[in-house]
C-alpha cells in the first residue's frame, strides 16, 4: 500500500479554509453560467445556427439574463403538494452538487499568503467514496421532488430518475474499482500524484525495461474502465441521449413539471454542476488531474507545477463537458428498455469481468507469475476460448425454401409476403388503348 501523505490537509488556518470555500463556490457559479452559454453556442454551430448573439459580446450576457429571470420569476407551488418536502428537495440536490467538490483537487502544492497548502478544500483516505456517497444523497432530491409534487408526471419522472441513477451508479462504481486496484489508493490527491509518475514497462523475466517518456494516465492503462465511466456519467446526470426522466414527449418535464422560479433554478444549477462534477472526477481519476499533458510537460516542466495546475484541470474538464454537448446535439433519445438493458446487461457484467482481470493482473505481477511458460499457456487458453465462442456463435445456414405462388389479395386485403413467398409479376390491368384508324 502506498503511504498516504495528507499532512497538508486539516492544518490550514480558518481564514484559508474560508477563502477556499468561497472561491470554490464562486468558481462553480461562474463556470455554470459559462457552460450554459457554451452549450448553446456549440449546439448552434453544430446545427448551423448562430446561438446567443445579443446581450453582451458574443451573447455572453444571455445566460446571466436567464438566471436573473428565474430568480425574480413568480414561484408557484401546487395546492396539493407537500409544502416542506417540495421546498426541501431542490435544497438537497443543490447541496449535494456543491459538496462533491470538497475533495476534488484543482492543483498541487502552492503558497497562499505565506502558507503552504494544496489547491483542494480537503482530502481523505476515502475521498472517491465520499463523492459517490454525496451523489447517492443527491438522488433523494429528485425522488422527493416527484413524490411531493403530487403529480403523476412528476412521480413517474422521479421513479425513472431514481432507477436510472442507481443503475448507472453501479457501473460507475465498478469502473472506479479498477483505478483503486491499480493506484492502491482512494485518495484523490494520491491518485493524481500516481498518474504524474513516468509510464514504465518493466518485465524483468523477459529483459524488458521501457521508459516511454509518458505520464502514467489511467485512461490508457484502464481504457475499458474509462469508456464505461464515460457512458455511466452521462446516464448518471440524466443528459441526452439518456434524459428519459425529463423527456417532454412522455412526461412533460418529469420531476420538474410543477417547479418554477427559484426552486427550478436550483435544479437547473445542480444539473450543470453535476455535469462538471462527473467530468472533474473523470479528469482526476483517468486524465492525470491537474498535470500538463504530454509533450508539454516534457518540453516545459515548469508549466506542470504550482499555479499552472488549475489551467490544465479546467481545460480537461471543459473538454469532457464538450462531449456532453456533442452527444446532446447529435444523438436521439434512447428508449427506456434499451437504456436499462445497456446498464444491467452490458455495462455492469463487463465491469465485473474487467475488475476481475485487473485484480488478477495485479496479483500476478506482485507474485511474479509473468514467466514465458505462463504467458504461452495463457495465450493458448485465450485463443481456445475465442475459437469456441466463434463456433458456438455461428448462425446456422438458412434452409432453402421453395418459392410458392402468392396472392396478396386472396383474403380481400393486401398483405405482405411471408418468407419463401414471392409476389406475382405485375400485370397491367389498364385496358389497352384502341387502335386509331384513319377516317
Q: At what angle do helices 127-148 and 83-99 cross, to 10 degrees?
A: 160
CA distance 272 to 268: 7
Of 12, 237, 244, nearest in space to 121 by CA: 12
- Mean residue pLDDT of the chain comes to 83
75 pLDDT above the threshold of 50: yes
Contact 282, 200 (CB under 8 A): no
User: Is the pLDDT higher at 366 or at 2?
Assistant: 366
- Print the domain residue range for 380: 79-387
434 pLDDT above the threshold of 80: no
What is the per-residue pLDDT for 276?
96
113-117-121-127 Cα dihedral, nearest 10 degrees: 180
Q: What is the pLDDT of residues 329-365, one digit of tens each?
A: 888 888 888 888 998 999 999 999 999 988 888 888 7
Confidence of residue 316 (pLDDT cuts 50, 70, 90): very high
What is the per-residue pLDDT for 403?
55
Whether residue 48 is contained in a domain is answered as no
Q: What is the pLDDT of residues 140-179, one digit of tens each?
A: 998 899 899 888 888 888 888 888 888 899 999 999 999 9
Contact 238, 138 (CB under 8 A): no
Whether residue 353 is contained in a domain is answered as yes
Whether residue 416 is contained in a domain is answered as no
User: Is the pLDDT higher at 304 or at 210?
Assistant: 304
Contact 160, 245 (CB under 8 A): yes
Q: Which three cell numbers stand for residue 413?
A: 386485403
Q: What is the pLDDT of residues 376-395, one digit of tens each?
A: 787 788 788 878 877 776 66
| Structural domains counted in the chain | 1
What is the per-residue pLDDT for 2?
45
Contact 40, 51 (CB under 8 A): yes
What is the per-residue pLDDT for 1?
42
Whether residue 145 is contained in a domain is answered as yes
Distances (CA, A) of 86 to 36, 154, 270: 26, 12, 16
Whether residue 139 is contained in a domain is answered as yes
Average pLDDT over residues 262-275: 91
Confidence of residue 64 (pLDDT cuts 50, 70, 90): confident
**Between vectors from CA 254 to CA 39 and to CA 273, what angle results, nearest 5°?**
40
Whether residue 313 is contained in a domain is answered as yes
Contact 284, 235 (CB under 8 A): no
Of 112, 152, 108, 99, nearest in space to 5 by CA: 108
Distances (CA, A) of 430 to 276, 340, 412, 414, 437: 68, 54, 20, 19, 21
Confidence of residue 436 (pLDDT cuts 50, 70, 90): low
- Peptide bond between residue 295 and the one before it cis (omega within 30 degrees of 0): yes
Whether residue 414 is contained in a domain is answered as no
Distances (CA, A) of 330 to 23, 142, 276, 384: 35, 27, 20, 40
What is the per-residue pLDDT for 50?
86
281 pLDDT above the threshold of 70: yes
205 pLDDT above the threshold of 70: no
233 pLDDT above the threshold of 80: yes
| Cα separation of the two ends of the chain | 110
**In angstroms, what is the C-alpha Rg of the chain?**
29
What is the Cβ-side half-sphere exposure of residue 120, based on CA atoms within 13 angstroms? 29
Confidence of residue 211 (pLDDT cuts 50, 70, 90): low
Q: Which three cell numbers stand for residue 43?
A: 449546439
Q: What is the pLDDT of residues 360-379, one digit of tens each?
A: 888 887 777 766 677 678 77
Whether residue 417 is contained in a domain is answered as no
Confidence of residue 201 (pLDDT cuts 50, 70, 90): low
pTM of the complete model: 0.81
Amino acid at each position: 500500500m502506498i503511504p498516504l501523505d495528507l499532512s497538508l490537509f486539516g492544518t490550514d488556518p480558518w481564514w484559508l479554509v474560508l477563502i477556499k470555500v468561497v472561491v470554490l463556490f464562486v468558481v462553480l457559479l461562474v463556470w455554470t453560467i459559462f457552460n450554459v452559454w457554451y452549450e448553446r453556442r456549440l449546439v448552434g454551430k453544430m446545427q448551423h445556427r448562430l446561438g446567443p448573439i445579443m446581450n453582451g459580446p458574443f451573447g455572453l450576457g444571455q445566460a446571466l439574463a436567464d438566471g436573473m429571470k428565474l430568480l425574480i420569476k413568480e414561484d408557484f407551488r401546487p395546492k396539493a403538494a407537500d409544502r416542506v418536502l417540495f421546498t426541501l428537495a431542490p435544497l438537497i440536490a443543490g447541496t449535494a452538487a456543491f459538496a462533491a467538490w470538497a475533495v476534488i483537487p484543482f492543483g498541487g502544492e502552492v503558497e497562499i499568503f505565506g502558507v503552504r497548502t494544496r489547491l483542494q478544500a480537503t482530502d481523505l483516505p476515502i475521498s472517491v467514496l465520499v463523492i459517490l456517497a454525496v451523489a447517492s444523497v443527491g438522488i433523494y432530491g429528485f425522488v422527493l421532488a416527484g413524490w411531493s409534487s403530487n403529480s403523476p408526471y412528476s412521480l413517474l419522472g422521479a421513479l425513472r430518475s431514481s432507477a436510472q441513477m442507481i443503475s448507472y451508479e453501479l457501473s460507475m462504481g465498478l469502473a472506479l474499482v479498477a483505478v483503486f486496484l491499480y493506484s492502491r489508493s482512494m485518495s484523490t490527491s494520491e491518485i493524481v500524484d500516481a498518474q504524474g509518475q513516468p509510464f514504465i514497462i518493466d518485465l524483468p523475466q523477459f529483459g524488458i525495461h521501457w521508459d516511454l517518456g509518458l505520464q502514467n494516465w489511467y485512461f490508457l492503462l484502464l481504457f475499458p474502465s474509462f469508456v464505461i465511466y464515460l457512458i455511466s456519467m452521462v446516464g448518471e446526470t440524466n443528459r441526452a441521449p439518456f434524459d428519459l426522466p425529463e423527456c417532454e414527449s412522455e412526461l412533460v418535464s418529469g420531476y420538474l413539471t410543477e417547479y418554477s422560479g427559484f426552486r427550478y433554478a436550483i435544479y437547473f444549477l445542480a444539473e450543470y454542476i453535476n455535469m462538471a462534477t462527473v467530468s472533474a472526477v473523470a479528469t482526476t481519476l483517468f486524465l492525470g488531474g491537474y498535470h500538463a499533458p504530454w509533450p508539454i510537460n516534457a518540453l516545459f516542466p515548469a508549466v506542470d507545477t504550482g499555479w499552472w495546475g488549475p489551467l490544465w484541470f479546467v481545460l480537461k474538464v471543459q473538454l469532457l463537458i464538450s462531449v456532453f454537448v456533442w452527444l446532446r446535439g447529435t444523438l436521439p433519445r434512447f428508449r427506456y428498455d434499451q437504456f436499462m438493458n445497456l446498464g444491467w446487461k452490458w455495462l455492469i457484467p463487463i465491469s465485473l469481468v474487467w475488475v476481475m482481470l485487473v485484480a488478477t493482473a495485479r496479483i500476478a505481477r506482485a507474485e511474479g507469475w509473468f514467466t514465458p511458460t505462463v504467458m504461452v499457456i495463457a495465450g493458448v487458453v485465450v485463443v481456445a476460448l475465442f475459437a469456441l465462442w466463434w463456433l458456438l456463435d455461428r448462425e446456422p445456414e438458412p434452409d432453402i425454401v421453395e418459392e410458392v405462388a402468392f396472392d396478396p389479395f386472396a383474403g380481400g386485403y393486401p398483405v405482405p409476403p411471408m418468407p419463401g413467398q414471392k409476389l406475382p409479376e405485375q400485370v397491367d390491368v389498364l385496358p389497352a388503348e384502341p387502335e386509331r384508324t384513319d377516317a
